Amino acid sequence: MKDEKTLEPLHEATLWYYTIKDPEVTEQAIVDWLSWLQASEENTQAFEKVEQLMQLTTQAKEIDWPDDNELLDDDYDGDISVQQWRLNQRGWRKWYRIFLDFKLPAKKNLLPSFALSVMAFALFVLLSAHMPNLGESDIAVSVHETASGQHERIELDDGSVITLGAQSLISVAYSEEQRKVLLERGEAYFDVAKDPNRPFVVGSGSRTVTAVGTEFNIMRQSERVVVTVAEGKVLVEPKSKPSSVPRIIKAFKKKYGNTNTFLLAEQQLTYNDDTISEVEPANSKTVTSWREGSLQYLTEKLKFVVEDINRYSEHPIRIGDEQVGNQAYSGTVYTDRIENWLDSISQAFPIKVLSHNNGDIVLVTDTTRIKNSSVN
């Protein structure tokens, strides 16, 4: 890649594409590629365009970006040489091998941004290039999944306890140096044992939640993740830290902004792949009432309420139109009496509850009631 600066971005991006796809790509080439990629927005766009063209016009496969599980350990920060970083890893090489052998269900949308992908890909190549040298490890890895309406209490070796909600999926990785959890879907309540030397880190969606010793709740839905603190303090920050490769900081901040946020007891925030809310006051007892068999809401959109209820419902409930989904709902849903809630919702709102032969239940706007109310 000599005289790169004299090349047009698309030409240069093409050369980088073939360099990265080479099975014998060197570690230094990966670092150089990342630096070039984030030197300008033009470089990033050119590389994305080349990759798209390659997929359309040749037999070339898309670069195999790692999924969330392979990102659970992303510790290379660029402050030391690649060689020295590799010597310091030890146990985490074993962790990576475990996830090569066992993968959770694949997701269509692997990562929230291209910047996150390139940072992760560097780690992927560095680890996989040295798989033959993997040694023994004392890392404990476990995966937990619950069925509809089922809760699970998970007691960890350090005294921490995770209460896993219905239709939820998490993976847990413990070692002498770190405690990491990935919440892939659903909801979980974390009662974390204090250990200043081993922060407790939960990855969910595009961010991580870090605590030393505290109690907090995380709910991951299709459009958002909601974090509520019951006791202590947590740090919410982007999943892949901008410091991983210095020049990636610009692209990362352009996407997310500098959005590290501390949450205290009785506070809550919501985020998705692109945005994060302001910190808001919350009633943690209301948020965590699901552990006792009731779901409590305060001015929550029905589309989120229904998505939550579906983890406990025998029959799927669907939102039939946008107007229904945006209705603000306040109230309590008992998970063993969902049919009663459906009856009440049709009385309290201009909503029809339609039952289909396949068992699905659809909530649609009752236009007749809206017209009558407007006339009166």
Using one digit for the tens of pLDDT, what is the confidence trace for 56-100?
A: 654 444 444 444 444 444 444 445 554 455 545 444 444 444 333
- Tokens representing 8 are 């047009």
In DSSP terms, which residues pair with 328 in a beta bridge? 301
* pLDDT, tens only, 105-124: 343 333 344 444 444 444 44
pLDDT at position 248 is: 40
Task: Tell me the pLDDT of the chain averaged across its residues.
Answer: 76
pTM of the model: 0.62
Given this model, what pLDDT does residue 46 score? 83
Helical H runs in the chain? 9-21, 27-37, 41-57, 82-89, 91-101, 114-128, 248-256, 284-287, 302-309, 322-325, 338-348, 367-375
Average pLDDT score over residue span 8-20: 81
Percent of the chain whose predicted confidence (pLDDT) is above 70: 68
187 against 176, higher pLDDT: 187
Alpha carbons 322 and 302: distance in angstroms, whole number? 10
**pLDDT tens digits, one per residue of 219-232:** 999 999 999 999 99
Query: What pLDDT is recorded for position 371?
Result: 57
Mean pLDDT, range 196-224, rounded to an integer:
92
CA distance 328 to 299: 5
pLDDT in tens, 125-164: 443 443 333 333 467 889 999 999 999 999 999 999 999 9
Provide the terminal-to-terminal Cα distance of the chain, rounded to the nearest Å.
75
- Residue 188, pLDDT > 80, answer yes
Amino acid at site 169: L
Vertex 190 angle, CA 99 and 311, to 5°: 75
